[in-house]
């Protein structure tokens, strides 16, 4: 038990602070920006881009059908 207490006191004395407070805030800001960017990328890749491509294809198909109808009527 005495050895455990002595080892704990020695570790506490040797242990250094990993981050200062301003570095900690910078690290949190970095993680926040990284996380926001990651989820934005996921959102764009899974919802926005397919919606954009699908809408473009539907509009193009409508134009092709209108051209066919106009050609058949003429």
Instruction: Convert the pLDDT of each residue in 10-53 to its tens digit.
Output: 555 555 667 788 888 999 999 999 999 999 999 999 999 999 99
**pLDDT of 6 above 80:** no
d(CA 40, CA 32): 12
Is this model's pTM higher than 0.75 or not? Answer: no
**pLDDT of 58 above 60:** yes
d(CA 6, CA 8): 5
Query: Where are the chain's structural domains?
Result: 23-74
């Amino acid at each position: 038990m005495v050895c455990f207490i002595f080892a704990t006191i020695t570790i506490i004395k040797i242990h250094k602070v990993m981050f200062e407070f301003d570095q900690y805030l910078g690290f949190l800001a970095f993680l926040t920006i990284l996380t926001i960017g990651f989820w934005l990328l996921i959102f764009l890749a899974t919802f926005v881009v397919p919606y954009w491509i699908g809408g473009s294809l539907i509009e193009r198909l409508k134009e092709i059908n209108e051209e066919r109808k106009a050609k058949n009527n003429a």
